[in-house]
Amino acid sequence: MAEETIRIESITKHYKVGLEVVRALRGVDLTIHRNEYVALMGPSGSGKSTLMNILGCLDTPTSGQYYLNNKDVSQLRDNELADIRNKEIGFVFQTFNLLPRSTALDNVALPLIYGGQTKQARRDRALEVLNQVGLSDRTHHKPNELSGGQRQRVAMARALVNKPSIILADEPTGNLDTKTSIEIMSLLQDIHNAGNTIILVTHEEDIAKHAHRIIRLRDGLVESDEENKDITTLSELLEAKQ
């Protein structure tokens, strides 16, 4: 068995809304190993988004432990969490989250600024990952000059630029047409094949079935956590979506 990348123990998250306490997570235990490809699913209100935020070090739990690459990150301060996020986790969002006035190259190079690299080193690495996602001919285009699929590829290049151990993809095909969705899923598969751990948050059953393991949340708890023995191929995914 590969080494653990993520281990969470008895994680809870409570929010206060007015006088009411919302118990978004009610004691979640979960282990994800290096180079796993996991889909995280759940209906609205299941705690899926809250868990994703904690896994991505965007939020801290109310109680419980979160070990990321054997380091307890449960109660780190905001600046420490930001450092962990920048080094260990690459994010891909449904809405791309690109800077509209910056080129593809500058968007991809942005996370490297915090690492203290020279401008030339940042540029070289950004070009390398843009080439990896098939956008070497779009480096100087701004987001409004790119298609939705191309923008998501820029976002994926930015996620990869710091060589993170984990790619956290939140509804990465949510704003894309069928053909482009398949292209993005193919790219995620390539990233997984290269050794990254993939956590794919989705509400689409056919997209989730491309993952090797499916975790379902309901009412703040893990409802099921199963190996996917019938992995959907990209051609089957295309057929299912047409």
Sorted by where each begins, the domain ranges of the chain are 4-241
Q: In what order do the strands lie in the sheet with 221-227?
A: 89-93, 166-170, 197-201, 37-41, 213-218, 221-227
Integer Cα distance of 123 and 139 in angstroms = 10
How high is the pLDDT of residue 241?
65
Give the fold, CATH level 3, of 4-241.
Answer: Rossmann fold (3.40.50)
Supply the pTM of this predicted model.
0.92
For each of the chain's 242 residues, which pLDDT tens digit applies? 679 999 999 999 999 989 999 999 999 999 999 999 999 999 988 999 999 999 999 999 999 999 999 999 998 899 999 999 988 999 998 888 999 999 999 999 999 988 778 999 999 999 999 999 999 999 999 999 999 999 999 999 999 999 999 999 999 988 888 888 898 999 999 999 999 999 999 988 988 999 999 999 999 999 999 999 988 887 777 777 66
Question: Which residue type is seen at 173?
Answer: T
Q: What is the pLDDT of residue 242?
A: 65
Q: Which run of H or of E encompasses 208?
A: helix 205-208
Strand partners, 67: 7, 72
Q: What is the pLDDT of residue 93?
A: 87
